[in-house]
Structure 1
């Protein structure tokens, strides 16, 4: 196995020069840098990451906190951040915050204990005050899908309430009045905002908000199935459903198939989406798009700038986009 001494001899430079090239420190002529890189390639030399981190006071790692490792949303989030970090030559460490404040605290602590250079936090349960306190420490971080007052310059958020309103307005505009809601756990801020959009759309059209048309689930397929069954047990005459997650929409589809109900013939459906699940259902489902891919890319770029000591630009709040497909039927007048 080649050593730094072998690289130096082949390139005709000192070991100190090779070290400066590897660690991108000091002033090195372009021709010298090229000779060192050519020598490394010829010898198949790979620098020791531990030694490099000691020399640069950098672990060359980035930490990502997610709620879960399962589901299309988190798969997409982790894949996008991994791809971005690969391009930046960074190692990615992922820690699961599960579904509690205590677990998120421990997840962040694990990553800071491993001396991550920066963090991307999809933290749903930490108090704002805890994130503000964390910002006083050395490790830079970016917050995904949440805005914390006082930390707006490192938050990348999405207009969940407006998205919910857009989805339900679409159903109302197609003549639906008895609209069910597959809601997320309303102790979570984003779930409350998605439900608030549902309420707001109904009230603006003078439609009563009936809590018996609402059932909560944990954003998963099984929960969507159970929640849909619960609503249909009470209200078999509903004409439309607004699902606050694509996984729950799939669960609702499972139930419809069991009961030989057709979409949109018997019931119309609009869902949130973040990946491509709703496009592969038959029929394809009209959605309000939650752009987790673009948000994760933005978070990775923002964190890269923070780690380099660059001032952050104003980070975006992403707006919802309605993607109309085949799952909504227009009712006749008077229905």
Structure 2
């Protein structure tokens, strides 16, 4: 690959002139710029983005940290952030947190080493104290789907509590009283909040929840399958399921298919969904929409507003839940459950 020295020699100018023309610094005669551009074209010279970032105050690169690269949720998140940054003519650098504080710490260090102008962090394992300390550095960042006291202006969040209340209330409004909930990993704050929303909706109707009606999964298909297996083994089976993750819902539906359980005739189901995967199931599952596309859009807006002076921050950074109605819920009478 050609070097800047070779470009300068072919154009008959010094290296500093080539560097300044590439970086848009200073003013030069039109014929000088033409000679440099012609030399670059002839030698197929492409400036190094990293080298340019070392010479300038910004790299035009944005770091995005996700838990891992697999799964529809994270794929949708990365895709939307990429689309938003393309419009801003910025480059996306991604890193995985690998389900650990150490993994997330290394991801942030990678972004800093690459001189990223800012970070979008889907952080689950870094402590509030570490994030508060990180906020004291010069590099701005945005937290996706997490709130830290003192960093509210850096957070784009979703109302998980209200979302679960809506999903559970939808089942309650269709006559169901024996409702089971399949939650996510108990160590995840958002998982805890989703289950809490289920509990609050049930308690608001003065309904007791048998402990065995709350199953624990890990947001993967297999855990939804196993949770459904446990629930269907109960002597008093639920008439409805609230699944807090779309992949677990796929596992629930797989169990139902394999065991001749008809939805919604035998069991009603409402699920969380972020990438419309539940719309591809049969029957179409009624869902509470987790608006990851909107969240990613607002996260990029918020971060760019911190990087580029004069760019407006989004007015609303707290997103509310909505129900997407399918045909997986059957209306039943009180006598049906007795």
Residue aligning to 1:301: 301
Residue aligning to 2:95: 95
Say if 1:219 and 1:28 are closer, same or farther in 2 by CA, change over 3 A: farther
Q: Is the 8 Å Cα contact of residues 154 and 312 (structure 1) preserved in structure 2?
A: no
Query: How many Å separate the matches in 2 of 1:162 and 1:48?
Result: 48
Which sections of structure 2, spanning at least 5 residues, go unmatched? Answer: none
Other structure's SS at 1:199 match: helix
Q: Is the 8 Å Cα contact of residues 21 and 36 (structure 1) preserved in structure 2?
A: no
Matched, 1:332 2:315: no
Residue aligning to 1:319: 320
> 1:277-288, aligned counterparts within 5 Å?
277-288=277-288
Residue aligning to 1:258: 258
Query: How many Å separate the matches in 1 of 2:289 and 2:186?
Result: 20
Residue aligning to 1:143: 143
Q: Is the 8 Å Cα contact of residues 225 and 251 (structure 1) preserved in structure 2?
A: yes
Say if 1:278 and 1:41 are closer, same or farther in 2 by CA, change over 3 A: farther
Other structure's SS at 1:298 match: helix
Other structure's SS at 1:143 match: strand
Shift of 1:305: 2.2
Query: How many Å separate the matches in 1 of 2:294 and 2:23?
Result: 31
Query: How many Å separate the matches in 1 of 2:286 and 2:36?
Result: 52
Shift of 1:170: 0.1
Residue aligning to 2:54: 54
TM-score by length of 2: 0.88
Other structure's SS at 2:335 match: coil
Other structure's SS at 1:334 match: helix
Query: Deviations 1:270-291 (Å, cap 9, x if unpaired)?
Result: 0011002011101111001000
Shift of 1:35: 7.1
Query: How many Å separate the matches in 1 of 2:28 and 2:198?
Result: 60
Query: How many Å separate the matches in 1 of 2:78 and 2:333?
Result: 44
Q: Is the 8 Å Cα contact of residues 184 and 191 (structure 1) preserved in structure 2?
A: yes
Shift of 1:140: 1.2
Residue aligning to 1:173: 173
Other structure's SS at 1:215 match: strand
Query: Deviations 1:189-234 (Å, cap 9, x if unpaired)?
Result: 1011111110010000111022210111111111111111112112
Query: How many Å separate the matches in 2 of 1:148 and 1:193?
Result: 15
Other structure's SS at 2:233 match: helix
Residue aligning to 2:226: 226
Query: How many Å separate the matches in 1 of 2:294 and 2:40?
Result: 35
Other structure's SS at 1:52 match: helix
Query: How many Å separate the matches in 1 of 2:179 and 2:251?
Result: 17
Query: What number of residue pairs does the alignment pair up?
Result: 334
Shift of 1:236: 5.5
Query: How many Å separate the matches in 1 of 2:34 and 2:77?
Result: 39
Root-mean-square deviation over aligned CA pairs: 3.0
Query: How many Å separate the matches in 1 of 2:35 and 2:321?
Result: 49
Q: Is the 8 Å Cα contact of residues 50 and 114 (structure 2) preserved in structure 1?
A: no
Q: Is the 8 Å Cα contact of residues 60 and 91 (structure 1) preserved in structure 2?
A: yes
Moved more, 228-237 or 66-75: 228-237
Other structure's SS at 2:69 match: coil
Q: Is the 8 Å Cα contact of residues 63 and 111 (structure 2) preserved in structure 1?
A: yes
Query: How many Å separate the matches in 2 of 1:11 and 1:328?
Result: 72
> 1:65-144, aligned counterparts within 5 Å?
65-144=65-144
Query: How many Å separate the matches in 2 of 1:288 and 1:249?
Result: 12
Query: How many Å separate the matches in 1 of 2:123 and 2:233?
Result: 35
Say if 1:25 and 1:182 are closer, same or farther in 2 by CA, change over 3 A: farther
Q: Is the 8 Å Cα contact of residues 159 and 319 (structure 1) preserved in structure 2?
A: yes
Query: How many Å separate the matches in 1 of 2:199 and 2:28?
Result: 62
Q: Is the 8 Å Cα contact of residues 18 and 36 (structure 1) preserved in structure 2?
A: no
Q: Is the 8 Å Cα contact of residues 179 and 238 (structure 1) preserved in structure 2?
A: yes
Query: Deviations 1:272-325 (Å, cap 9, x if unpaired)?
Result: 110020111011110010000111111112212222255873551000011111
Query: How many Å separate the matches in 2 of 1:195 and 1:248?
Result: 14
